[in-house]
Amino acid sequence: QLQLVESGGGLVQPGGSLRLSCAASGIPLDYYVIGWFRQVPGKEREAISCISSRSMNTKYADSVKGRFTVSRDNAKNTVYLQMNSLKPEDTAVYYCAADRRPLQAMCVMTSEYDYWGQGTQVTVSS
């Protein structure tokens, strides 16, 4: 059973940075694509980034492009989301998700992932 645990969230001032981690256990992530999502109460869940398995190709939502960077370290079975130049509108619960796909498959910016973490709160405020 694949388990995902997000960490690194917290309170940060506008313009600051945070790095979120998504640590996997139970199954190696080599054959999984990873997506990052965020959700504000009362609003739709938003896909913000994803990364493929072998090629490590990445995608970003327009709202975070140029500010966020997704990466993965398969040896550590961990995926990261580096968030820079944070804005108050980035405040949300952030989730990572995994889906088993062929090594050549691209990641997808949808919510159709089989495994999800518990989420970590990110609050951007003065």
- At residue 104, the pLDDT reads 85
User: What average pLDDT does this structure show over 19-30?
Assistant: 94
Q: Answer whether residue 70 shows pLDDT above 90.
A: yes
SS3 for 2? coil
> 87-119, pLDDT tens digit by residue?
999 999 999 999 999 888 899 999 899 999 999
Handedness of CA 89, 80, 13, 66 (dihedral sign): negative
Residue 47's nearest CA partner among 24, 64, 32, 29 is 64
- At residue 56, the pLDDT reads 87
